[in-house]
Structure 1
Amino acid sequence: MPLTSLRSARATKAVLPLWVLLVSAATLWPFWLAFATPSSGYAFMVRDMMIPARMPLNDLNEGLSSSAPRAIPQDTLLSVFLPPLSTVWIVAAMVLFCAMAGMVYTAWWVRRTVGASLPVQMVASLLLVWNPFTIERMLQGQWSIVVAMWLLPAIAYTSTFKQRGPMLFFLGIAAFTPTGWMLGGVIALVCARSWLVAGAQLFLAAPWLLVTVFNGSDVSADSSSAAAFAARAESGVGTLGALMGLGGIWNSEAVPDSRTGWSAAIGVLLCALMVMGAWGAREIIRRHSGVLVVAALAIVVPFLLSTSAGVSVMGLLMDSVPGAGLLRDSQKFVALAVPGMTLLLARAVQVIAGWLNSGRWLVSSATGILIVLTVPALPAEMSPLKAQRLAPEWTQIVNAVSQPTHSSTLLLPPGNYRVQDGRPVVDPALKLLPGNPIDPGFLIVDDKLVDGDPTAIALLQDTMNGEDHLAENSVGWVLVDRDSIANGTDTSAMDQLLAQHQVVVKSDRYELYHIADATPHAHENSSLPIFLGVGLYWFIFGLGLCLSVWQIVLWRRKEFAPTPDQ
């Protein structure tokens, strides 16, 4: 190869990694910034995301409680396998690694499927990270679902081209939560059509599957919540248009301010360009029909489930099928469209460049601007994801509850969420306290009570009404968060009840009471299902990691092997 050509090839290889680093720094800067925070006393706190620097192994993440195992194996793995390092650092590293790996594999995916040149690879990889799904789900605190979405092109690539080690590795990361498990599994099964994928998925589901089957975790959901969790329409484009642009999350409060009707319309325009990419691409459609069909269904099905008839069907499903509540937030499954969307967008950019007889750098740049305009202020709107300092009282609270009283902790006021800097966040006590913090399991959506453990709810109501049934229900501790009590709430009966018990911690915000002579909390469930399940999960994940490392070693040997001329 001539020296000038060799230098050009090396320069091209360097551009993509620099691009990936630049985009991740611009969009995910709160996670880069997390490495500058101390190793304790900080946490990621955004709605469903509560990741403290230290997370104990309690009844919730050990699968011993009766509540649905929504955060298994995520919280279990963060509690068991990673205690030496700050969990904040670990999660930040995971988010950044998955974003950058996803962007690189997206570039490889479009290069190998449609022959995309470097500028086209760059714009396709930009779409993966800079989109409404990323920011809306991040602001909802569902970081692990976003991570799974970013890895879908990587799973599609490794499944299609039989790279089994990386495929298992990426499937393992996606399976951090049941939703991610479903997303990764669908793409892998469609692309690989292999029994290996089906078997691996069974092992990766083992943690929450075994807990549900053997510990009898409650996986039921209120059918009335189907409407509350349906995909949401956006101004000017409706529900279908919102989904076409990877938007439409059910919670309007998680939508960034820069996501306007114009932004949604640009998302629809981009989707139209992707459809254009299918024009005349019969061979591509034939070879990757599975991914493209999934992309279409990922948009159409959530739209149909948002209609009145679809809401009724979902409600019926939730009433009759255990665990169907996992499907009610149907908008999250629009993530399945991403591998097909990136493929078609890359093809469309190349076709348009040919029609206009223009350079692909120009068309790719224009397309990149459109992608940015779907969420113009995305970098600034990521600011709520910065790691925040926990209240200093938590050290006293955790130390007190860590005393071996073999009892549960009741959390007041009723509800799973607390107010942090004016925003709701999952109650930190559920993640910070050892033992058995009682998870009531209910949500308030549009002023309606959704789901919930009837026993826990009844106990909370009795306590708020001044009826003391704490000791007989194995409650040895009561934690009150005064700042999260709604204005106008009458707490006089609760205050009179708690005044009869010992105050252990008291500050302007938090009060911790010790309930003497509480009946010991008896564990009806076993820890065996979660640890057996995590072992099976770890086997697949570890196998994928080892095979991936071996593949890299072989590639490096081949890359630096001397040529015959040498």
Structure 2
Amino acid sequence: MRTEWGEAARRFAPALLGLLLGVLALWPALGPGFVLRYDMVFVPDPPLVPPGQGFPRAVPSDLVVALLSRVVPAEAVQKAVLLGIFVLAASGAAALVPSRRLGPRLVAAAFYAWNAYLAQRLLLGQWALLLGVAGLPWAVRAAALGGRLRLAAALIPAAVGGFQAMLVSAVAVLATAATAPAPAPAPGLGARVRRTGEAALIMGGLSLPWLVPALLSGATTDPAGVDAFAARADGPFGVAGSLLGLGGVWNAHATVPGQGSWWSAGVRLALAAVAIWGFVRLRGTRDGSRAGGVPYWTGLAVAAGAGLGVACLGAFAPGLLKALVGWWPGFGTIRDGQLHLAPFALLQAVGLASAADRWASRPAAAPRAVVAVTVAVAVAVPVLVLPTFALGAFGRLTAVPYPQEWRRVQEIVNGDPAPGALLSLPWGAHRAFRWNGGRVVLDPATKLFGRRVIWNDELLVGLPDGGRIRVAAEDPLAAKVGAVLRPGAPEPGPAGAGDRAGALLRLGVRYVLTRPGDNTFQDALTVFEGSELRLVRLSNPD
């Protein structure tokens, strides 16, 4: 019985550690309401709607959330997803560690669930991407072990997350499938080629929900996004030092408080060095011929190197990426270079576990109690290096309820059976509401209504020198509406006939959601007006 309990504890300890780290990081976000920050936009009673005309970045993640919200409240879905990211990441990293010792597996679990990359992407609100990051260890493991059903199941988190989540998994999965030893009954190059092809087909099939709308959307990608989203220094060691420490995100507001200090940045660099050394020492067993072999070694090394290379290209040689994006908009997925560090974070997690295992396995190196304390400290190091990631990064992730007037507007619009889109104003992608503590968030109207929502997906990204880069809109319809709304724009229609409301009606707009006091559409019917929202319905011209 004691052996069974010990085996169960060994099996579930990494997941439990991930849950504890998730609670520590998300504590203010676990209260009543929704966490709204940058791209993290959850809404009450989300509707089931098809993707819009822009690039389908929220496909199929929004649909999955909407379906789950039919069973449990949407705010509970958000909290379960966020906690699930930590649990999945920690347990997956532990599963990749070849050592059977619990200590090294917990070291990998703690590091992969608590590092600068995960913290920065969470503060950007990119929960869908982090689903793929959390599932990455399981996908790599499945690609190394083989088996179509195993790989398909391991890729479900990335499939739910959508294109970015699948993107961070693709290189690691394909590289592992191509380089891992083939099963004994069918060794050789042919077996690896077949396994790689099967992996590509599985990922392609799981990508169809966003791939098909992307190909049909007519969305464009502005090469200026390469400069806007290039990795930047967030510490004293420059861009390269930031990337090696798994930081370097383009948005200065997505950094953890104190992350740029000499102490924090220096320790993260030291950990990176130890992790790389620990991973390299696993090379001797990469063919899996001995117990504890690591058949994924080459694949993960290739994926980590490729991700680090893409991140460096955006920062040091952006011309190449701009040329690729200009040649084919599909290359726009690599403009945010720091995003591709996920395999490098996983490599560091496994490498640190290897270093811890090396210490624990040294004969008579230290008493067992000292070894246990050393491993416990190693598990705690990620939290000690980034302590301000705790408690919602000191209040940056906090749950708040939606004001009642948002629910009232949602009821009115979704209760109207007449067709037509909703235009959200003011004409900008992001909002900062007082009831949300002034935290910047993507316009919630983009998720709230069961009809097409037109919003300005053009981005203005600030630069360290005070300048700004404008990244053009991807949605063709948004560009047309923007032209109608532009101050001083000529009235559309033949010979300038028709007013702005008429032009929007011809573009398929039925409702306009704006702020009280906005008199842009004075002749339109106001169907609701509250303290911060005004909903008007356009009428057809006589």
Q: Same fold (TM over 0.5)?
A: yes
Contact 1:240 1:300 in 2 (8 A): no
Per-residue CA shift, 1:136-183, capped at 9, x if unaligned?
Answer: 111111011122112211212222223543431231211221011112
Aligned-pair identity (%): 25
Conserved? CA contact 1:191–1:290, under 8 Å:
yes
In 2, Cα distance between equivalents of 1:158 and 1:313 = 33
Which residue is equivalent to 1:351?
358
Partners of 2:266 and 2:363 in 1: how far apart?
A: 24
Amino acid at match of 2:162: T
Match in the other structure for 1:294: 303
Q: Distance in 2 between matches of 1:148 and 1:14?
A: 21
Contact in 2 for aligned 1:226/1:311 (Cα 8 Å): yes
CA deviation after TM superposition for structure 1 residue 7, in Å: 6.5
* Contact kept? 1:473, 1:518, Cα under 8 Å: no
Kept in 2, the 8 Å contact 1:266–1:370? The answer is no
Kept after mapping to 1: 8 A contact 2:230/2:314: yes
Any residues of structure 2 matched to 1:130-529 within 5 Å, and which?
130-162=114-146, 164-175=148-159, 176-193=161-178, 194=195, 195-213=197-215, 216-261=216-261, 262-278=263-279, 280-285=281-286, 287=295, 288-307=297-316, 310-353=317-360, 354=362, 357-358=365-366, 359-382=370-393, 383-402=395-414, 403-420=416-433, 421-446=437-462, 447-452=468-473, 453-461=478-486, 467-468=500-501, 469-481=503-515, 495=519, 497-517=520-540
Do the aligned partners of 1:102 and 1:150 also contact (CA within 8 Å) in 2? yes
- Contact map agreement 2:26 2:391 (CA 8 A) in 1: no
CA pair 355-296 structure 1, distance change in 2 beyond 3 A: farther
Unaligned runs of 5+ in 2: 179-194, 288-294, 463-467, 491-498
CA drift at 1:312 = 1.3
Residue of structure 2 in register with 1:55 after alignment: 46
2:162, 2:268 → 1: CA distance? 28
Partner of 1:89: 76
| Unpaired segments ≥5 residues, structure 1 | 483-490, 520-566
Q: Normalization by structure 2: what TM-score?
A: 0.83
Which of the numbers 15, 22, 25 marks the counterpart of 1:24? 22
* TM-superposed deviation, 1:18: 4.1
Could you tell which deviates more after superposition, 420-429 or 351-360? 351-360
| Cα distance change on mapping 1:391 and 1:268 into 2, 3 Å | same
How far does the alpha carbon of each residue in 1:201-224 deviate from its partner, in whole angstroms, 9 at most, with x for none? 1111111221233xx313322112
* Cα contact 1:263–1:373 (8 A) shared by 2: no
Question: C-alpha distance in 1, partners of 2:129/2:336?
Answer: 12
**Alpha-carbon RMSD:** 2.7
Q: How many residues align?
A: 488
In 2, Cα distance between equivalents of 1:514 and 1:234: 46
Structure 1 residue 123 corresponds to structure 2 residue 107: yes
Q: 1:291 touches 1:340 (CA, 8 Å); kept in 2?
A: yes
Q: Do the aligned partners of 1:116 and 1:347 also contact (CA within 8 Å) in 2?
A: no
Q: Distance in 1 between matches of 2:399 and 2:387?
A: 23
Match of 1:531 in 2: none
**Does the CA contact (< 8 Å) of 1:393 and 1:507 recur in 2?**
yes
Quote the offset at 1:454 in angstroms.
2.0
The CA deviation at 1:226 is 1.2
* SS of alignment partner, residue 449 of structure 1: strand
Q: Structure 1 pair 279/169, CA: closer, same or farther in 2 (3 Å)?
A: closer
Provide the TM-score with structure 1 as the length reference. Answer: 0.80
**1:417-468: per-residue Cα shift (whole Å, max 9, x none)?**
1112212111111100221211322112124331214212112325999944
Change in Cα spacing, 1:502 to 1:246, as seen in structure 2 (3 Å) is same
**CA–CA distance in structure 2, aligned partners of residues 239 and 285 of structure 1:** 31
Q: Which residue of 2 aligns with 1:533?
A: none
Cα distance 1:146–1:17, how it changes in 2: closer, same or farther (>3 A)?
Answer: closer
Q: CA separation in 1, counterparts of 2:380 and 2:8? A: 27
1:313 positional shift = 1.3
8 Å contact from structure 1 (residues 116, 350) kept in 2:
no
Is the 8 Å Cα contact of residues 311 and 341 (structure 2) preserved in structure 1?
yes
- Structure 1 pair 512–17 and aligned structure 2 pair: CA distance change class (3 A): closer
